[in-house]
Amino acid sequence: MNRAFIFDMDGVIIDSEPIHFDVDIKTLDYFGVKTTEQELERFVGMTNPEMLGIFRQEHNLVHTIQEMIEYQLNMKMNILNNLEIEPIEGIRELIAQLKQRNIPMAVASSSPRIFIEGVLGKFGLSHFFKTVVSGEEVPKGKPAPDIYLETAKQLGVDPQNCVVLEDSRNGVIAAKKAGMKCIGYLNLNSGNQNLDQADITVHSYDEIKLGEIF
């Protein structure tokens, strides 16, 4: 039986949600919208175009979504390139265990591809993943299941044989809608996320017992 393990990225591989919160607040402020981290928590796991599109509609903004994304992404890439940071503790060990078991791995993230590749390259992890899918490359982002169904398709693995590692409510919902098993990672830096729909939840990656999952 073919099996696979799919990683979300933000808040799972890199503890980047605080970066996203900060940049999103500054981006929206630049375009005339005052917001808070608490208000942004509902968007964790969603794509940038979807999030900014909602703000644009709610506040009748005149700038295009593309203009806002370009401003936002430039700031995020500058921060990433100059940031001294390591992956979330335990992620390298989890990847090594999956590799030892010959379980193919993928990344399915709502971030733009350039940011995903920047993170994986920075940490030297790119070669571990058979495929990478951005939420901006499928018709609908999380909480729709599109990104996970597309990732399973690219892996050549039935969705029901895929396990997803997620830190956001929207991501967990997407994984379950795709018919996949989902591990919810309780990352405090990802804000107030309801992960009740996950099959199991963990506070650290050493709680994940692959022998009990596969």
Enumerate the active-site residues.
8, 10
**In the structure encoding, which two tokens stand for residue 80, read together?**
């990433």
CA dist 133 and 117 (Å) reads 10
Neighbour-count burial of 154, counting CB atoms closer than 10 A to its CB (0-12 exposed, 13-18 middle, 19+ buried): middle
Other residues' Cβ atoms within 10 Å of the Cβ of residue 200: 14
CA dist 128 and 131 (Å) reads 9
CA dist 151 and 158 (Å) reads 10
Identify the CA nearest to 171 among candidates 49, 3, 6: 6
CA dist 136 and 156 (Å) reads 21
**In the structure encoding, which two tokens stand for residue 138, read together?**
């499928």
